[in-house]
Amino acid sequence: MNSLSRRRFLKITSASFGAAIAATSMSTVVKGSEKIEEKSGKKIKGVQKIPTFCDICFWKCGAIAYIKDGKLWKIEGHPEDPLSNGRLCPRGTGGIGAHFDQSRLKAPLLRKGPRGKEEFVEVTWDEALDFIAKKMNKIKADHGPEAMALFSHGIGGNFIKHLMKAYGTPNLTAPSFAQCRGPREVGFELTYGDVVGSPERTDIKNTKCLVLIGSHLGENMHNTQVQEFAEAVENGATIITVDPRFSVAASKAKHYLPIKPGTDMALLLAWMNVIVAEKLYNKEFIDNYAFGFEQFEYEIAQYTPEWAYIETTIDPEVIRETAREMARYAPATIIHPGRHTTWYGDDTQRSRAIALLNALMGNWGKKGGLYNPQSVSIPGYPYPPYPKSEKGAADNPHHKYPFAEGAEKISTGLREATLTGDPYPLKGWFVYATNLTQALPNTQETIDAIQKLDLLVVVDVVPSEIAGYADVVLPESVYLERYDDLNTPLFREGFVSLRQPVVEEPDDQKPNWWMAKKLADKLGLGNYFPWKDVEEYLDTRLKSAGLSLDQLKEKGVIKGPEQKIYNDANNPPNFYTSTGKVEFYSLRLKEVGFDPIPKYTKPEEPPIGSFRLLFGRAPVHTFSKTQSNRFLSDLMEENEVWINVDVAKRMGFKNGEYVRLKNQDGILSNKVKIKATERIRTDCVYMVHGFGQRSKMYRQTFNKGASDSQLITKYKIDPLMGGTGMNVNFVTIEWGA
Ligand SMILES: Nc1nc2c(c(=O)[nH]1)N[C@H]1C(S)=C(S)[C@@H](COP(=O)(O)OP(=O)(O)OC[C@H]3O[C@@H](n4cnc5c(=O)[nH]c(N)nc54)[C@H](O)[C@@H]3O)O[C@H]1N2
Ligand SMILES: Nc1nc2c(c(=O)[nH]1)N[C@H]1C(S)=C(S)[C@@H](COP(=O)(O)OP(=O)(O)OC[C@H]3O[C@@H](n4cnc5c(=O)[nH]c(N)nc54)[C@H](O)[C@@H]3O)O[C@H]1N2
Ligand code: SF4
Ligand SMILES: [Mo]
């Protein structure tokens, strides 16, 4: 979203807190921080409940942690939190394992051997931060502040982001853009002038027809969506699932379309062909709000279901029937925009096609469609202004990707700049809570870039793969042991929630805010951290919205006043595109030489004997961050490679047998178990992402399962926004462990 539309967007959706407290009753079900019943000598008896929010993934579900007799006992959903509705997903429930994790980093580490050899010595915090400050000052003096980049993921990165902005670099990035949902946000922004956002604006619980393209809800465990999905299924909603693999979501579907991987655009165009040809679209919405519909209508006429059949292998009659079914329930129909959308390199255009199919349903701002999210506004801390960078960011030299100019930078673009020195060399990386060797495609490129650096700092909780390459490793307190910044998401209702410490750190770990403030002092940037501690910071922000930290510590979640999330006659939708309409034909795309109406490109075929490598989520793990949590690793210790049962039989592979995968560039995976199943097409294999880490220090996970990231040596860059399409690698299956 460009900054103008973001500002407008916030203006129309943020409610002030003036009325909020009056609107929410103070009598929460949970009495946060209930008194510990008895304290005799060192023995603490009784149960204490402390509200906080989860960090096992980025959904930020409100939770209640229980302390029993002074020890962390369990964690449950916060009944008043809109994201958890009183329930956590299995990962969140197992979250307390992060505190007890045997693999945890205990003290700051300084590298002594060559990079990547994993030879470190323990040092004090002062020594570690002095080392970093000295290097950062030298980088600034020799190359300018822009030569430092920050890779971070999650709300825990906020204070370090602030520090890096104060230091003067614009190179702040997260894998959630170019490796995740960037194409979707750009595709929707180009079409509606607005993004999908996280949490997604999908009114799944009220929908009558839900179309899932990939989006493997039930394995993708984003809590609220899964709860709403279950509710929709229970209410008899029609589910249409498109996936080369019979996913958990497919098992709930009325129509399962086992599509040939990489051909979804053909299906989308054919669906729109049917809906337009049979005049099944929402005429009123199109008449009022569509721009360029005539050109679209003309162009879409060529994409018949028979044409799409050749590409997708989906029966033309099934395409017709499912298109009609979507239209039957519109506007209470959602074609889910997906989330991890960096698939084939034409992902922004596919997302645009999804946006247009939704527009044909007229579901914008409608119940059961795409609602208008709300938020509460809590002013930021009154910091001094940041220094301005003359050079600008390094992720997108020469504006190569014209639609990547928002706040979110291209992680792989910063890696590229580090490797090539274009537009200028990057000399230091600060890495917070992102395991770059797993999160970025082509692990070797990441390692090569790291070898060019003068400084690599990694803040982690365990000796992850990326920590193994660091010059300095800073051990962080886990989420149950610290405060983080306030959570004020755009959602069905506006609310603010708090992460607060529930237990103490077991060793010399420190929270991110403490590291950022300390390092700022050493860098001479102390004026950017005028607060005494994080409690003062949080209280200042909350007070400026008429609330207080004490209130939020007790309640965990405070809701804003009720706001409208659907449009009606008195409250029509606004589209912040250049035409003020939903753009079926995009002048902005046309201007810079891209297809103004989405077109289909054929994916490459796997060579004979090879399979396309696909990947996804397991319900009990988050990427590469939960593998040493014993509550979760007990449920799934390693990943498997899914292969069609007939193919396995023909090749002589048995279930449970160990094999290795070899990709088109000769890269060999760790050993991984065969899962021979009818639930996958014959032209692809599938595995869960996050396994197969090769850090020797990280003993609990070393060589457990195989890593998709290591096999993803090839990636196709989306020419619109720089996203890395990763579903473009082919593997053969090799015998033997
Ligand atoms: N348990 C758990 N849940 C998570 C996460 C986690 O780590 N663990 N991570 C969260 C995050 S950040 C994200 S982004 C989401 C990601 O979750 P999603 O957005 O749901 O990810 P996708 O890539 O859409 O989904 C993978 C599915 O797409 C299918 N697929 C692969 N190729 C194709 C294709 O060409 N066409 C079609 N139609 N389908 C295809 C795969 O078989 C698989 O079922 O999950 C979120 N939820
Ligand atoms: N091959 C491949 N690549 C992918 C994906 C894929 O499916 N396949 N998915 C993509 C998607 S959708 C996304 S969103 C990204 C996700 O990418 P990341 O968010 O980078 O995911 P992780 O690999 O889990 O890395 C998280 C790191 O944070 C550390 N960590 C955990 N808790 C804390 C904490 O409290 N503090 C600190 N400082 N560190 C902590 C973990 O130990 C781990 O090293 O990856 C993307 N890349
Ligand atoms: S979806 Fe699960 S892991 Fe993610 S924040 Fe919610 S409970 Fe935690
Ligand atoms: Mo993601």
Whether residue 23 has pLDDT greater than 50: no
Mean pLDDT (whole number) for 34-63: 79
Nearest protein Cα to ligand 3, atom 4? 57
Q: What is the CA radius of gyration of the chain?
A: 25
Asked, for residue 315, whether it belongs to a domain, the answer is yes
- Shortest CA distance to 307 belongs to which of 263, 357, 266, 256? 266
* Shared-domain flag, residues 217 and 343: yes
Asked, for residue 729, whether it belongs to a domain, the answer is yes
Mean pLDDT (whole number) for 586-598: 97
Asked, for residue 131, whether it belongs to a domain, the answer is no
Q: Which atom of ligand 1 is nearest to the CA of 176?
A: 12
CA dihedral over 432, 438, 442, 448, signed as positive or negative? positive
C-alpha 454 to ligand 4 mean position (Å): 29
Report the residue among 54, 75, 621, 623 best suited for mutation to probe ligand 3: largest number of ligand atoms under 8 A from its CB: 54
Q: Which atom of ligand 2 is nearest to the CA of 709?
A: 1
Helix (H, G, I), strand (E, B) or coil at 134: helix
Model confidence at 37, in pLDDT bands (50, 70, 90)? very low
**CA–CA separation, 417 vs 435, rounded Å?**
19
pLDDT confidence of residue 19: 41
Mean pLDDT (whole number) for 681-692: 97
Model confidence at 430, in pLDDT bands (50, 70, 90)? very high
Helix (H, G, I), strand (E, B) or coil at 213: strand
Instruction: For residue 632, give both structure tokens.
Output: 């979760």
Report the residue among 59, 161, 179, 715 best suited for mutation to probe ligand 2: largest number of ligand atoms under 8 A from its CB: 179
Per the structure, the count of domains in the chain is 2
Mean pLDDT (whole number) for 122-149: 98
Whether residue 1 has pLDDT greater than 80: no
Model confidence at 45, in pLDDT bands (50, 70, 90)? confident
Model confidence at 32, in pLDDT bands (50, 70, 90)? very low
Mean pLDDT (whole number) for 36-44: 50
Mean pLDDT (whole number) for 75-82: 98
Instruction: For residue 497, give both structure tokens.
Output: 């929630």
* Shared-domain flag, residues 643 and 579: no
Domain encompassing residue 645:
611-735
Residues above pLDDT 70, as percent of the chain = 94
Helix (H, G, I), strand (E, B) or coil at 496: strand
Asked, for residue 651, whether it belongs to a domain, the answer is yes
pLDDT confidence of residue 737: 66
pLDDT confidence of residue 346: 97
β partners of residue 94: none
Mean pLDDT (whole number) for 640-663: 97
Do 347 and 723 contact (CB within 8 A), yes or no? yes
Q: Does ligand 2 have an atom closer than 6 angstroms to the CB of 625?
A: yes
C-alpha 82 to ligand 1 mean position (Å): 23
- Counting ligands in written order, the one closest to the CA of 624 is 2
**CA–CA separation, 567 vs 577, rounded Å?**
18
Nearest protein Cα to ligand 1, atom 6? 622
- Shortest CA distance to 325 belongs to which of 239, 422, 443? 239
pLDDT confidence of residue 16: 53
Q: Which atom of ligand 1 is nearest to the CA of 219?
A: 1
Whether residue 10 has pLDDT greater than 50: no
Nearest protein Cα to ligand 2, atom 29? 433
Asked, for residue 685, whether it belongs to a domain, the answer is yes
Mean pLDDT (whole number) for 105-124: 96
* Shared-domain flag, residues 258 and 368: yes
C-alpha 580 to ligand 1 mean position (Å): 32
pLDDT confidence of residue 700: 87
Do 676 and 652 contact (CB within 8 A), yes or no? no
Asked, for residue 726, whether it belongs to a domain, the answer is yes
Note the pLDDT tens digit of each residue in 362-416. 999 999 999 999 999 999 999 999 999 999 999 999 999 999 977 789 999 999 9
Model confidence at 331, in pLDDT bands (50, 70, 90)? very high
Note the pLDDT tens digit of each residue in 658-675. 999 999 999 999 999 999
CATH number of the structural domain spanning residue 646: 2.40.40.20
Q: How far apart, in Å, are the Cα atoms of 313 and each of 351, 600, 731?
A: 21, 15, 22
pLDDT confidence of residue 407: 79
pLDDT confidence of residue 42: 57
Mean pLDDT of the chain: 94
**CA–CA separation, 449 vs 428, rounded Å?**
10
pLDDT confidence of residue 486: 98
Task: Identify the DSSP state of 106.
Answer: -
C-alpha 217 to ligand 1 mean position (Å): 8
* Shared-domain flag, residues 709 and 679: yes
* Shared-domain flag, residues 290 and 367: yes
* Shared-domain flag, residues 617 and 723: yes
Torsion of CA 517, 553, 198, 690, to 10 degrees: 70
Model confidence at 632, in pLDDT bands (50, 70, 90)? very high
* Shared-domain flag, residues 723 and 586: no
- List the strands of the sheet with 238-242, edge to edge: 255-257, 238-242, 209-213, 333-335
Tokens 């007790």 belong to which residue?
554
pLDDT confidence of residue 2: 41
pLDDT confidence of residue 14: 52
Whether residue 21 has pLDDT greater than 80: no
- Shortest CA distance to 698 belongs to which of 112, 153, 101? 101
The long-range contacts involving 280-283, CB below 8 angstroms and separated by at least 24 positions, are 280/323, 280/324, 280/327, 280/360, 281/327, 281/360, 281/361, 281/362, 282/330, 282/331, 282/360, 282/361, 282/362
pLDDT confidence of residue 699: 87
Report the residue among 625, 667, 713, 714 best suited for mutation to probe ligand 2: largest number of ligand atoms under 8 A from its CB: 625
pLDDT confidence of residue 9: 38
- Counting ligands in written order, the one closest to the CA of 466 is 2
Model confidence at 703, in pLDDT bands (50, 70, 90)? confident
pLDDT confidence of residue 735: 87
Q: Does ligand 2 have an atom closer than 6 angstroms to the CB of 725?
A: no
- Which string of b and e fits 163-194 if b means at least 16 CB within 10 Å? bbbbbbbbbbbbbbbbbbbbbbbbbbbbbbbb
Mean pLDDT (whole number) for 243-268: 98
Nearest protein Cα to ligand 2, atom 8? 689
Ligand 1, residues at Cβ distance < 6 Å = 57, 91, 180, 213-216, 220-222, 242-245, 247, 259, 261-262, 264, 338-340, 343, 614, 616-619, 621-623, 686, 727
Model confidence at 11, in pLDDT bands (50, 70, 90)? very low
Asked, for residue 278, whether it belongs to a domain, the answer is yes
C-alpha 181 to ligand 4 mean position (Å): 6
Model confidence at 736, in pLDDT bands (50, 70, 90)? confident
**CA–CA separation, 27 vs 50, rounded Å?**
15
Q: Which atom of ligand 2 is nearest to the CA of 340?
A: 12
Report the residue among 460, 661, 711 best suited for mutation to probe ligand 2: largest number of ligand atoms under 8 A from its CB: 460
**CA–CA separation, 177 vs 342, rounded Å?**
9
* Shared-domain flag, residues 231 and 326: yes
* Shared-domain flag, residues 355 and 241: yes
Q: Identity (one letter) of the amino acid at 288? A: N
Whether residue 605 has pLDDT greater than 60: yes
Mean pLDDT (whole number) for 607-621: 97
C-alpha 91 to ligand 3 mean position (Å): 6
**CA–CA separation, 726 vs 342, rounded Å?**
6
* Shared-domain flag, residues 584 and 696: no
Query: For the ranges 13-27, 108-122, 204-218, 309-323, which has the lowest average pLDDT?
Result: 13-27
Helix (H, G, I), strand (E, B) or coil at 412: helix
Asked, for residue 447, whether it belongs to a domain, the answer is no
Note the pLDDT tens digit of each residue in 199-243. 999 999 999 999 999 999 999 999 999 999 999 999 999 999 999
* Shared-domain flag, residues 579 and 681: no
* Shared-domain flag, residues 578 and 726: no
Q: Which atom of ligand 3 is nearest to the CA of 221?
A: 1
Around Cβ 712, how many Cβ atoms within 10 Å? 23
Whether residue 31 has pLDDT greater than 90: no
Helix (H, G, I), strand (E, B) or coil at 575: coil
CATH number of the structural domain spanning residue 339: 3.40.228.10
C-alpha 339 to ligand 4 mean position (Å): 7
